[in-house]
Amino acid sequence: MSATRITVKGDNPYDVVIGTGVLGEAAGLLGDGVRTVAVVHPGTLSELAGPVAEALAAAGYEVVPLPVPDGERAKTPQVAAELWSAFGRHGMTRSDAVVGVGGGACTDLAGFAAATWLRGVKVVLVPTTLLAMVDAAVGGKTGINTPEGKNLVGAFYPPAGVLCDLATLASVPRDDYVAGLAEVIKGGFIADPEILSLIEEDPAGAATPEGPHTRALIERKVQVKADVVGADLRESGLREILNYGHTLAHAIERAEDYRIRHGEAVAIGMVYAAELSRLDGRIGADLVERTRAILTSVGLPTSYRRDAWPELSDHMRLDKKNRGAKRRFVVLDGLAEVGRLEDPSPELLTAAYQEVAR
């Protein structure tokens, strides 16, 4: 099957290329004038980054491999500074480029480093996990973490292109793959219910890259995100819907010191957001139960520790959607109908968490 190209529109449009055996297309996305390419990748993924680096070298680029730590340990100011120093040592100019190969943490870091080096150099992202393919690498959000929270330092910086080679998913551990499904499922609840139907039809198949609907699920979720970010790159309105489930999720990640998988936290966060929606009179119990049922069917968590609420509530005060002292949540007004909950009462927030902690 030939590769699918989904265009993310906006002031700087780019393509997300989805298929098997597409890593060689990285050079074609870089365009003219590039001399040096820094290939940023987790040290444990050298075998996956190797073919990308070889294809770039064969195309005539000077390739500089730059390994970084795995996972969220890469998304620190210190690691970003180490990349900037490496860019300087190798004489990277504004006409050169960065290629990020790896999971969402690596593509976030590579995008941020590219956005800030010389105030912006070209970047191509090659996500190698389900989560990165359907979410982190698409949309132009880059960022690193601080002790105060996740992704609080970053930039909106669209890549020159994104390559999703489905063959790389074969090496993703099952638990990591299932965690990535949370973002796919989120896309079903906020925009494309056909995603939910495909998973309900074959939940066991959805939980593996060999499933019959894998490519369709990935393409549909990428299309959801492309449609949203193409209309609202800088999260001034519409793009906020992509944060469904993320307010509590980010608080859980911080409470767990990022040892919990992002998708697992998002799954719990979606149940919380659905319960908020129900308790605020926006949706019925059936949609909440459908949320739990779909998440459970693929092996994702739907509850969290009862005693964690004071800490989580405190962490949620520092959320990008908040305005001053007013908290804001993305909620559902119906299936594929997204609303905003402005400044909810503490009693409502606590009651919704009690349903998650049951």
Same domain, 225 and 159: no
The predicted structure's pLDDT at residue 110: 98
Boundary residue ending a domain (171, 197, 222): 171
The predicted structure's pLDDT at residue 319: 63
Q: DSSP letter string over 164-194? A: EEGGGGGGS-HHHHHHHHHHHHHHHHHT-HH
Domain count, the chain: 2
326 annotated among ligand-binding-site residues: no
Boundary residue ending a domain (171, 194, 217): 171
Same domain, 151 and 185: no
Q: Output the CA–CA distances (angstroms, integers) from residue 152 to 148, 238, 273, 301, in the order listed.
A: 8, 20, 22, 26
Same domain, 220 and 107: no
350 annotated among ligand-binding-site residues: no
List for the chain the helix, strand, coil content (%; round to 5): 50, 20, 30
Amino acid at 266: V
Q: Domain containing 115: what range?
A: 4-171
CATH number of the domain within which 188 lies: 1.20.1090.10
Same domain, 66 and 88: yes
Same domain, 314 and 341: yes
107 annotated among ligand-binding-site residues: yes
**Catalytic site residues?**
119, 141, 183, 225, 235, 239, 243, 246, 250, 262
Boundary residue ending a domain (112, 136, 171): 171
129 annotated among ligand-binding-site residues: yes
340 annotated among ligand-binding-site residues: no
Maximum distance among all Cα pairs of the chain, rounded to whole angstroms: 62
Give average pLDDT by consecutive 10-residue segment, the chain, 358 residues.
Answer: 90 94 89 93 92 94 96 95 98 97 96 98 97 93 88 93 96 95 98 98 97 97 94 82 95 92 97 98 98 98 96 83 73 97 95 94
The predicted structure's pLDDT at residue 11: 87
Same domain, 345 and 215: yes
